[in-house]
Structure 1
Amino acid sequence: MMKRGKLFIAIVLLIICMGGVRSGVTAAPVERSSHVLLQIPNIQGESTVAGYTSWIELSEAEFSSQIPLVIQGGSRAAVSFPKEDDISITRQVDTASGAIFRKHLMSINAGSSSNPYQDWVIVFLNDSGVPYLKYTLKEPIINSYKINNKARFAPEETFSINYTGITATTWDSRGIPSSISYDIAAQKIY
């Protein structure tokens, strides 16, 4: 009897971990109420948002920052400089995709006279097209690129952007911007 009880619990946990019992009902797709756009100089996107026409439309932009913390027995915690990870981008394949892939392949020559660095901008807009968050990336390169056909309507591409510096700008409810910058090489916050 004890073995059956453990088996039952194991099966229930397995079902929970797999996402539960599936029914024939599926949820309707959720409409996104904001826009995430990327501007890469000399690459035309398909955005039609006023003030951001021809920017590259994104499905997701994921950014993370970590401050390493070291705690040694009997002493105070020590922190290190922020560790900036790359920014991961996911988007549906469109007319800009070929140029984005080319930019990835050209990353080996980034900073050369034939491929000079130019700032890239990622902006998050509300449903009225007003910005509330903007990242400006210094000396960006696409360090990884992949494409998949898991999307329901069109293939998706995912790529990661590395950079040497970043400026984050936010706007308050009155539209007043506030910025902070971090130079990764110099390990300085401005």
Structure 2
Amino acid sequence: MILLKFATQIKGTSTVAGHTDWITIDAIQMGVGRAISVSGGGTDRDTSNPSFSEISLTKATDIASADLFMQAVCGKSLGKAELHFIQTGGQDKKQQVFLTIELDSPIISSYSVSSSGERPTETFSINFTKISYKYDSFTGATVVTGTPKKWDLEANAVY
């Protein structure tokens, strides 16, 4: 399960404990890459700065849809965004957040809807200035908290 929350309130349909009213996401696509070239006849390689894609999210149309559409139209920062990837596990079968992605200054840069007669599906993209990526692992009831890996796209540096 993937859930999304913005600092600027956009109400979703989640009823998961600790994530009430978060936006339920069906799919995510994101990436980072860099150009790498071999220089001259040597064995050294030159690398460029990282290039981040916007984060593309897909979900069923719901109570958040009109607000997401309007944010794409207005192009204003939503403050912060949090994506939580949740699994059910442990002896008590509790919901556990195993992956957290945090975004600074998220702006919805695109929004589209598609349907073939059933409930429409929407896809929207988020542009951001900073990203934090953290994975937590679980062994039974024990949580091994990961260290967030953070990158500032504007400064092109770890923060």
What's the TM-score once normalised by structure 2's chain length?
0.87
Within the candidate set 150, 155, 158, 1:186 is matched to 155
Report the Cα offset of residue 177 of structure 1. Answer: 3.0
**Residue number in structure 2 paired with 1:79:** 47
The alignment status of 1:144 with 2:110, answered yes or no, reads yes
Q: Tell me, what secondary structure is at the counterpart of 2:98?
A: strand
Counterpart for residue 9 of structure 1 = none
Task: Report whether the alignment pairs 1:126 with 2:95.
Answer: no
3-state DSSP class of the match of 1:143?
A: strand
Give yes or no for the alignment of 1:90 onto 2:51. Answer: no
Q: Which has the higher strand share?
A: 2
Give distance in 2, aligned partners of 1:153 and 1:170: 35
Deviation for aligned residue 1:67: 2.5
The aligned residue for residue 57 of structure 1 is: 24
Please give the secondary structure, in 1, of the residue aligned with 2:13: coil
Q: TM-score, normalised on structure 1?
A: 0.73
Could you say which residue in structure 1 is the equivalent of 2:91? none
Deviation at 1:182, TM superposition (A): 0.3
1:157 to 117, 122, 129: 122
Question: Counterparts of 2:135 and 2:147 in 1: how far apart (Å)?
Answer: 5
Supply the distance in 1 between the matched residues of 2:34 and 2:17 (Cα, whole angstroms): 37
- The percent identity for this pair of structures is 29
Measured on the aligned residues, the alpha-carbon RMSD in Å equals: 1.5
Please identify which structure carries the higher helix content: 1
Aligned to 1:166: 131
Q: Which runs of 5+ in 1 are unaligned?
A: 1-34, 112-116
Tell me the distance in 2 between the aligned counterparts of 1:70 and 1:138: 31
The number of residue pairs the alignment matches comes to: 148
- Aligned with 1:135 (options 101, 106, 111): 101
Gap regions ≥5 residues in structure 2 = 89-93
User: Using the alignment, how far apart are the partners of 2:118 and 2:96 within structure 1?
Assistant: 28
Taking the aligned partners of 2:126 and 2:4, their CA distance within structure 1 comes to 11
Larger radius of gyration: 1
Aligned equivalents of 2:83 and 2:31: distance in 1? 14
Q: Which of 1 and 2 has higher RCO (CA within 8 Å, sep 6+)?
A: 2
Deviation at 1:153, TM superposition (A): 4.4
